[in-house]
Amino acid sequence: MSQPAPKPAAVRVVEVASEDADQRIDNFLMRHLKGVPRSRIYRILRRGEVRVNGRRIGPDYRICAGDKVRIPPVRTAAGGGGPAPVRPGLEAAILYEDDRYLVLDKPSGLAVHGGSGVSHGVIEALRALRPQARFLELAHRLDRETSGCLLVAKRRSALRAVHELLRGGGVEKRYLALVQGAWQGGPRQVNAPLRKNQLRSGERMVRVDPAGKSAQTWFRPVTVFGQATLVEAHLGTGRTHQIRVHAAHSGHPIAGDEKYGDEGFNRAMRSLGLRRLFLHAQSLAFTEPDSDREIHVSAPLAPDLRAVLDALEQVRAPAPTHSEARSGR
């Protein structure tokens, strides 16, 4: 016997507390409409169902202390959304935590937040893991396919502080990437403006374009294997897909990149066991403005990526000559 559909909740009017001020309205609604996909939240914003002080607002509106937010009744579609599942392994993935921040070693394949066809991401799962936490917000983003250090703020003041640091280049983020070919010439800066485009399919693409936003990436070769090179990437800016596009622009696309990479190179790396994008947020470091405390966190390469490097090392090693094999050398 089928169960009756749950009745939607009544309209709510929530007054914004001082500690919740200065965040985007879409993030505020995500906290108050748990289990509702981000795409649904954007829809009710576009329709004007959400009002602040009686007025329509857009998803980028930043709420102020004392604002009165009208939240309409919203029913989660059957079979979609629902509360974020608790991921017990997420607790073990925490690399660092204090009273203001935590840093996760995000696994590849897990989106940082719900939306664009994804019901739940890291931040929703983290909130489900810690339902008593009043505030947990992403301080920055990582691509779904990228693994490694992801910074989460535990207080509104901490989020504001780290956003100010990010805007001023005060957060040092370093990545490891396996790229195509033998890197020549040592460290290199790629300074190429980037522009976001959306295809008819809805897929988001980024390309180098003089009319785009300025973007700088520094690459430093770590190990040259011949057919591939392990490089460290240091960001000067934080544009969407920046490392991936700049690597391809420099003639060295990242292994496993299905969007900007080289099909033949990806096929060769799959034969060595690579099953995902080889891009890893290795470390992040910053000095907390209020306390001058230095925070530096690093995430080791996952075993699957390390295995690919080991396989490349074996391919690079010269085979013993016939005489060496006979002498046992």
Rounded Cα distance between 98 and 281, Å, is: 20
Rounded distance, CA 243 to CA 253, Å? 9
* DSSP conformation class of 294: E
Secondary structure class of 38 (helix, strand, coil): helix
| Spatial distance between the Cα atoms of 200 and 207, rounded to a whole number of angstroms | 16
Question: In angstroms, rounded to a whole number, what is the distance separating the alpha carbons of residues 317 and 47?
Answer: 62
Catalytic choice (20, 67, 143, 257)? 143
CA distances (Å), 281 to each of 7, 236, 277, in order? 44, 14, 12
CA distance 199 to 203: 5
- Cα torsion 203, 208, 213, 219: sign: positive
Supply 35's token pair: 């289990």
| Cβ proximity of 179 and 231 under 8 Å | yes
Active site residue 209: no
Supply the residues annotated as catalytic: 143
